[in-house]
């Protein structure tokens, strides 16, 4: 073990599982205990290095649960395999911090925690959107500083989003849920960019329009853009919900920021490197009516210089999935991924995760890269 503080549950269990951060709720530990696992948990809030995690494996480690803040590359998977490791689960829906090819080379299935955080993260995007549009954080600071002297007609004027245009880049689970919330709640038109047409989302909007018509109200528009640039030019709010890989790094850069409306709102609750953060700082400095709302950062936990000083940027510390129910559900899925493999069950590849959240979950829920390297997309 490293010098970080560790605690052990079910000492002497048949299998040994290393968990690099304490997870919320009791159920995940119950699942691993029922699978006869000794569970060693790091309770330090510091981010563990590759060397510290490797040391924690020791001579025997059958499985591990890691965090998105850690670099799970070839070194860690070689060390895990060398300690007898047979399963790894990322405590996150994404796997951009995981070298899945390296894991597959060692024959170690990689799990993630999709589905359970969809609505929670979408709600965070809604909160960020309106915090930026209505200048909530600026107003809060103003009040706390004792500057409020009475109501004024021009005090903290923000943006009305009712019947404006919503732009979504990445119309997967979370992007679609966010769209539902904004369309139903605020009757926003929708323009989205995705590599695939989201017929389910479009059908949903069509059904909602039928309801609006029955109430004598105007419909909302919905269309898929051929290019990202169309979304940026037309939308009053642009929210990012795409994956992070080499094709999406700095997806929003200086040139694309320049296409957006001067009073547009850019929201990122996905992954920080989707935005060229230095370019965003410059853009926000030069466009005071432009607003950004960020839950994630390019070099997290650090921010690019100047970002923290901008009044037209809302910044929160990666709380997209931070509700008790969701984080406990993620822990349940992560534990089930590892416990299932260690108990000899096959990887779970069904899109329905609800059995894991019931009283008697199936044993095993992972995504796996085959030997040829074809990644099964996270559900």
CA atoms within 13 A on the CB side of 178: 35
Residue 1 has pLDDT above 90, yes or no: no
Q: Which of 78, 138, 230, 300 is catalytic?
A: 300
Q: In which band, very low, low, confident or very high, does the pLDDT at 115 lie, cut at 50, 70 and 90?
A: confident
Quick one: average pLDDT of 353-373? 47
Shortest CA distance to 232 belongs to which of 254, 247, 199, 249? 254
Shortest CA distance to 58 belongs to which of 83, 95, 90? 83
Q: Is 318 designated active site?
A: yes
**39-78: pLDDT as tens digits:** 999 999 999 999 999 999 999 999 999 999 999 999 999 9
Question: pTM (2 decimals)?
Answer: 0.88
323: left (phi over 0), alpha (psi -120 to 50) or beta: beta
- CA distances to 23, 48, 323, 343, 368 from 28, rounded to whole Å, are 8, 21, 16, 15, 21
CATH topology of domain 6-116+322-357: Rossmann fold (3.40.50)
Q: What is the pLDDT of residue 157?
A: 97
Alpha-carbon Rg for the chain in angstroms = 23
**17-34: pLDDT as tens digits:** 999 999 999 999 999 999
Q: Which of 134, 249, 287, 318 is catalytic?
A: 318
Q: What is the pLDDT of residue 4?
A: 76
In this structure, the dihedral spanned by the alpha carbons of residues 305, 252, 97 and 4, taken in order and rounded to 10 degrees, is 20
Q: Which of 27, 173, 271, 327 is catalytic?
A: 271
Q: In 215-309, which ranges are continuous DSSP H helix?
A: 228-234, 254-257, 277-286
Q: Is 16 designated active site?
A: no
Contact yes or no for 102/369 (Cβ under 8 A): no
Q: Do domains 6-116+322-357 and 118-315 have the same CATH topology?
A: yes
- pLDDT > 70: what percent of the chain? 91
Q: What is the pLDDT of residue 376?
A: 26
CATH topology of domain 118-315: Rossmann fold (3.40.50)
- What is the token pair recorded at 4? 């970080």
Q: What is the pLDDT of residue 357?
A: 62
For residues 263 and 293, give the distance between their C-alpha atoms in angstroms, rounded to a whole number: 13
Which run of H or E residues covers position 240? strand 237-240
Q: What is the pLDDT of residue 186?
A: 97
CA atoms within 13 A on the CB side of 268: 22
Q: Is 271 designated active site?
A: yes
Domain ranges of the chain: 6-116+322-357, 118-315
**336-361: pLDDT as tens digits:** 999 999 998 876 665 566 666 665 55
For residues 265 and 239, give the distance between their C-alpha atoms in angstroms, rounded to a whole number: 8
């Amino acid at each position: 073990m490293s010098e970080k503080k560790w605690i052990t549950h079910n000492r002497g269990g048949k299998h040994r599982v290393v968990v690099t951060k304490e997870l919320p709720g009791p159920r995940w530990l119950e699942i691993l205990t029922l699978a006869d696992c000794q569970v060693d948990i790091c309770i330090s809030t510091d981010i563990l290095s590759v060397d510290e995690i490797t040391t924690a494996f020791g001579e025997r480690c059958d499985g591990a649960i890691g965090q998105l803040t850690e670099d799970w590359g070839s070194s860690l998977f070689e060390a895990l395999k060398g300690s007898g490791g047979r399963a790894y689960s990322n405590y996150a829906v994404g796997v951009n911090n995981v070298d899945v090819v390296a894991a597959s080379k060692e024959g170690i299935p990689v799990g993630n925690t999709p589905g359970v955080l969809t609505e929670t993260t979408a709600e965070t995007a809604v909160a960020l959107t309106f915090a930026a549009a209505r200048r909530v954080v600026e107003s809060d600071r103003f009040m706390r500083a004792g500057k409020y002297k009475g109501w004024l007609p021009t005090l903290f004027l923000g943006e009305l989003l009712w019947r404006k245009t919503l732009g979504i880049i990445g119309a997967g689970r979370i992007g679609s849920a966010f769209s539902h919330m904004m369309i139903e709640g605020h009757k926003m038109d929708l323009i989205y960019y995705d590599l695939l047409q989201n017929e389910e989302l479009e059908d949903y909007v069509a059904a909602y329009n039928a309801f609006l018509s029955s109430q004598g109200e105007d419909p909302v528009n919905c269309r898929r853009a051929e290019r990202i640039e169309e979304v940026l030019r037309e939308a009053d709010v642009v929210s990012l919900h795409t994956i992070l890989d080499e094709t999406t790094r700095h997806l929003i850069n200086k040139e694309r920021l320049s296409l957006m409306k001067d009073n547009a709102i850019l929201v990122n609750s996905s992954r920080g490197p989707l935005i060229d953060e230095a370019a965003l700082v410059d853009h926000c400095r030069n466009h005071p009516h432009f607003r950004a709302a960020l839950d994630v950062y390019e070099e997290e936990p650090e921010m690019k210089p100047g970002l923290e000083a901008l009044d037209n940027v809302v910044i929160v510390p990666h709380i997209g999935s931070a509700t008790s129910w969701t984080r406990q559900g993620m822990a349940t899925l992560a534990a089930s991924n590892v416990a299932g493999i260690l108990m000899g069950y096959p990887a779970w590849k069904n899109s329905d995760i609800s059995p894991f959240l019931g009283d008697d979950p199936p044993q095993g829920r992972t995504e796996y890269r085959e030997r040829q390297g074809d990644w099964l997309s996270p559900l």
